[in-house]
Structures are given as C-alpha cells and as structure tokens.
Structure 1
Amino acid sequence: MQARVMTFREGHIRVEVTASSFPRPRNPSTNEDTQYSSRGEVAHQRVFHDPERQSRIALTVVDG
C-alpha cells in the first residue's frame, strides 16, 4: 500500500477494508487477464485480531 497524506478533523476518520483499488483497473478475483475476463468472483477480506495474527494501522499524527 502506498503512503497517503490526509488531514482529518477530530472525530472524522473511518477505515474501510475492501478488495478495490479505485480508480485503478478492476480486479475480477479470478486470476484471469483483467482485459479479457468476463466474469467476477466475490473477494473475501479478513482482518485478523487474535494474539497470533494481530493487525494494525499506523497513523502518524502531526500538529498543524
């Protein structure tokens, strides 16, 4: 994932986990050439949160 810089007002942030990379080309999740694929599969996303597989999002906070 590439680094992003955004400014949020306090209390105005939400995290969504998706299989999308909009506005980049679609990914039908079929391992087919995306240019010629005519079908799509449902992509299942998981966020692990147990002691063996911890997930995190690191946000740098700066005064400004």
Structure 2
Amino acid sequence: MFVADRNQLFTAWNALANLADLAGKVSVIIRAEREDGFDRIKLQNGVIEPLKEADLI
C-alpha cells in the first residue's frame, strides 16, 4: 500500500506495469476520499466512464 499524489502515481504506474509483465496480471484496489465529496459529473466522466470503456469495471 502507498499514498501518492498525481505525479507519484504516474511514476508508480510504470512499476506496476512492470509487475504485470512479470506476473501476467495484477489486482489494483484504489481508495480516494475528499472531505467535501466529489463532483459526480467529473467523477463519472473522468474516472468511471474511462474505466468502463477499458473493460476494467
């Protein structure tokens, strides 16, 4: 487990892709929280839809 900002996440993503190459597949669990909640439209358009289009959820 690690906590990362946007830049750190991009760096970590390369390492996770390398792990997926070695293992064949990896499981990823993401948790994100915000005190005032998330904008539902931005969450839908920027997160949920791209993941659905990639057949990840």
Normalised to the residue count of structure 2, the TM-score between the two structures is 0.24
Higher relative strand content: 1
Report 1 or 2 for greater relative contact order, CA contacts < 8 Å, sequence distance ≥ 6. Answer: 1
Normalised to the residue count of structure 1, the TM-score between the two structures is 0.23
